[in-house]
């Protein structure tokens, strides 16, 4: 479990996170949602240690990231897998090379053992057969799946995903969501997903934290998001035309019969 | 008057008084300029401290160093050969045209060509040329890795990204630069020899005698020592600008330009310092 307590971060005097507290549960898909510029990426980057907040604490199963020395942070990071918005695959390595990279750097296993583990991870994300291709030769959805395979190669305890569906079509987005959800439940990982995709929110949102203007505005799960009674959240949820039309229809005609 | 200073943001900075266009430098601007330059230099020092930390995996560092030798060094050999052979020929022709006096022996052309190549062309000028080719390659590669979050991915994995990416580049270029210098020296003389053979400007025997006359071995060591410093400057400065690039393609291009310009300026600066230290 990851606990965030009273986290504050500002840039050049502008407060981006203001006293944010949240809990991210083990074996659940925890979603951070909010509009662009609301501070969710800053929260995510603070969680993984890429940014240092001015105040607060970030507890990884009781261990405070902000109190750790360099060696402790290094050790913790080997328990973390991260899926970046743009996949962040190494251009000079093949798909297999990318997945083998963390294994090569941290396990001390033989090449054959690392290859076997990498192939298992690729198979898990349905990418068997693409191992010898370079990132530039595969689609955006496949790149995301390679990045997931790389992120789970070391059996991480914590998995962070920064907008995993950005740039993907709705069908591929659902596939990625299902993959992340399955991996989370299968391996008991604490998964934190940063998104503003409502399909993800309604599909896999077991613990949702809504960030608005640097504040934690609402916490709940996907079944409570429609009747949250929070104006900022409603504005966010019903921002798309489709949701707006469904909302208007239900308001005027009631729920349609099955 | 736009002023170049060590740092991307500062390149836009002007010393002129902005309020009245009087062209006078203001104390405020000068102090800002100095403090920004010092801040950038401090960041460069911190960057180098991270680069020269002990690698997590020595075998991986050696493997990457070898790959960088191939990419930055061996791949530069054709460019070095082409430039050297032509510049060697041009220096020989110019020496012949400028030393055409009955009082000066004919072999002086070979001697002057040799010393110009040994003292300046094969190290300083060559490194200025390589700062363009290798420096822009390094800065754009690392800058692209930064903006596509590949460096963040390394950091998240608990890898010292500066050490992992930059140390092999510095080691590779520093190790291979003397080889490029030796190639440069040899092919420059071949260029001059070609002029002697193909034209009647200077007899071949005189040119060859000039190359060997009054030879000072220290000049070779002087050139090689300078090239080591210059290789370090090219690799570290370009990496620094690439590493701290942020934004998109425009910023990567700017980091690449800043890397090449800064490398060139520091090569020229250290050329003066090293010449004073090593030749006097």
Q: Which structural domains are found in chain A, ordered by start? A: 1-79+157-223 (3.40.50.300), 92-155 (no CATH)
- Is residue A163 within 8 A of residue A196, CB to CB? The reply is yes
Structure letter (DSSP) for residue B24: P
Are the Cβ atoms of B158 and A75 closer than 8 angstroms?
yes
Distance from CA of B60 to the nearest CA of A (A): 8
- CB < 8 Å to B153, chain A: 82, 84, 88, 90
Question: Which of A75, A78, A88 is facing B153, going by the closest CB pair?
Answer: A88
Q: Please report which confidence band the pLDDT of residue A245 belongs to, taking 50, 70 and 90 as the band edges.
A: confident
pLDDT digits (tens, 9 = 90+) for A44-101: 989 998 899 999 999 999 999 999 988 888 889 889 999 988 889 999 899 999 999 9
Are the Cβ atoms of B148 and A50 closer than 8 angstroms?
no
Question: Which of B60, B152, B158 is facing A78, going by the closest CB pair?
Answer: B158
pLDDT digits (tens, 9 = 90+) for A14-45: 889 999 999 999 999 999 998 888 888 899 98
pLDDT digits (tens, 9 = 90+) for B2-40: 344 444 444 444 445 555 555 556 777 888 888 988 999
pLDDT of B214 higher than 80: yes
- CB < 8 Å to B60, chain A: 104-105
Arithmetic mean of pLDDT, B144-159: 91
Helix (H, G, I), strand (E, B) or coil at A218: strand
What does the angle CA A246 – CA A251 – CA A254 come to, to the nearest 5 degrees? 90
- CB < 8 Å to A73, chain B: 158
pLDDT digits (tens, 9 = 90+) for A92-124: 899 999 999 999 988 888 999 999 999 999 998
Are the Cβ atoms of B150 and A90 closer than 8 angstroms?
yes
Helix (H, G, I), strand (E, B) or coil at B17: coil
Please state, in angstroms and rounded to a whole number, the distance separating the CA atoms of residues A42 and B40. Answer: 25
Across chain A, which distance is largest between two alpha carbons, in Å? 65
Are the Cβ atoms of B153 and A84 closer than 8 angstroms?
yes
- Is residue A15 within 8 A of residue A8, CB to CB? The reply is yes
Question: Which of B60, B150, B158 is facing A74, going by the closest CB pair?
Answer: B158
Distance from CA of A202 to the nearest CA of B (A): 28
Give helix A111-124 / helix A140-152 axis angle, nearest 10°: 130
Q: How far apart are the first and last CA of chain B?
A: 36
The ipTM, to two decimals, is: 0.82
Q: How many CA atoms lie within 13 A of A57 on its CB side?
A: 10
What does each C-alpha distance from B64 to A39, A177, A211, B131 come to in angstroms? 38, 36, 42, 21
């Amino acid at each position: 479990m990851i606990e965030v307590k009273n986290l504050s971060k500002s840039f050049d005097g502008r407060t981006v996170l203001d006293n944010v507290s949240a809990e991210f549960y083990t074996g659940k898909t925890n979603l951070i949602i909010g509009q662009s510029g609301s501070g969710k990426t800053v929260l995510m980057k603070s969680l993984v240690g890429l940014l240092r907040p001015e105040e607060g604490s970030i507890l990884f199963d009781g261990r405070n990231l902000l109190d750790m020395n360099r060696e402790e942070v290094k050790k913790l990071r080997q328990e973390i897998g991260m899926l970046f918005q743009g996949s962040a695959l190494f251009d000079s390595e093949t798909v297999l090379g990318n997945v083998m990279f963390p294994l090569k750097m941290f396990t001390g296993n033989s090449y054959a053992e690392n290859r076997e583990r990498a192939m298992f991870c690729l198979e898990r994300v349905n990418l068997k057969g693409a191992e010898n291709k370079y990132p530039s030769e595969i689609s955006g959805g496949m790149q995301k799946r390679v990045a997931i395979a790389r992120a789970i190669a070391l059996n991480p305890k914590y998995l962070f995903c920064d907008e995993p569906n950005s740039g993907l079509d709705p069908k591929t987005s659902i596939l990625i969501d299902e993959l992340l959800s399955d991996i989370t439940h299968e391996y008991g990982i604490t998964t934190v997903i940063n998104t503003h995709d409502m399909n993800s929110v309604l599909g896999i949102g077991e613990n949702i934290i809504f960030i608005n203007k640097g504040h934690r505005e609402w916490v709940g799960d996907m079944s409570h998001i429609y009747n949250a009674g929070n104006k900022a959240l409603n504005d966010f949820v019903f921002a798309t035309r489709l949701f707006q039309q469904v909302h208007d229809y239900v308001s005027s005609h009631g729920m349609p019969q099955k | 008057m736009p002023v170049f200073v060590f740092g991307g943001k500062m390149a836009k900075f002007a010393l002129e008084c902005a309020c009245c266009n009087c062209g006078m430098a203001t104390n405020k601007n000068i102090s800002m300029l100095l403090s920004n330059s010092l801040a950038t230099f401090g960041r460069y020092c911190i960057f180098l401290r991270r680069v020269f930390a002990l690698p997590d995996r020595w075998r991986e560092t050696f493997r990457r160093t070898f790959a960088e030798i191939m990419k930055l060094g061996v791949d530069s050999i054709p460019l070095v050969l082409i430039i050297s052979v032509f510049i060697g020929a041009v220096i020989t022709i110019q020496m012949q045209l400028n030393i055409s006096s009955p009082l000066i022996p004919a072999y002086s052309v070979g001697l002057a060509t040799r010393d110009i190549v040994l003292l300046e062309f094969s190290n300083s000028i060559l490194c200025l040329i390589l700062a363009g080719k290798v420096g822009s390659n390094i800065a754009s590669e690392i800058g692209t890795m930064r903006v596509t979050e590949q460096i963040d991915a390394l950091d998240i994995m608990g890898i010292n990204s500066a050490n992992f990416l930059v140390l092999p580049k510095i080691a590779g270029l520093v190790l291979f630069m003397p080889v490029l210098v030796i190639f440069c020296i040899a092919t420059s003389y071949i260029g001059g020899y070609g002029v002697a053979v193909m034209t009647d400007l200077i007899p071949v025997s005189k040119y060859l005698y000039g190359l060997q006359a009054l030879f000072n071995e220290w000049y070779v060591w002087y050139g090689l020592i300078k090239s080591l410093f210059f290789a370090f400057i090219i690799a570290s400065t370009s990496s620094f600008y690439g590493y701290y690039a942020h934004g998109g393609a425009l910023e990567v291009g700017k980091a690449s330009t800043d890397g090449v310009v800064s490398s060139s300026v520091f090569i020229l600066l250290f050329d003066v310092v090293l010449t004073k230290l090593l030749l006097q």
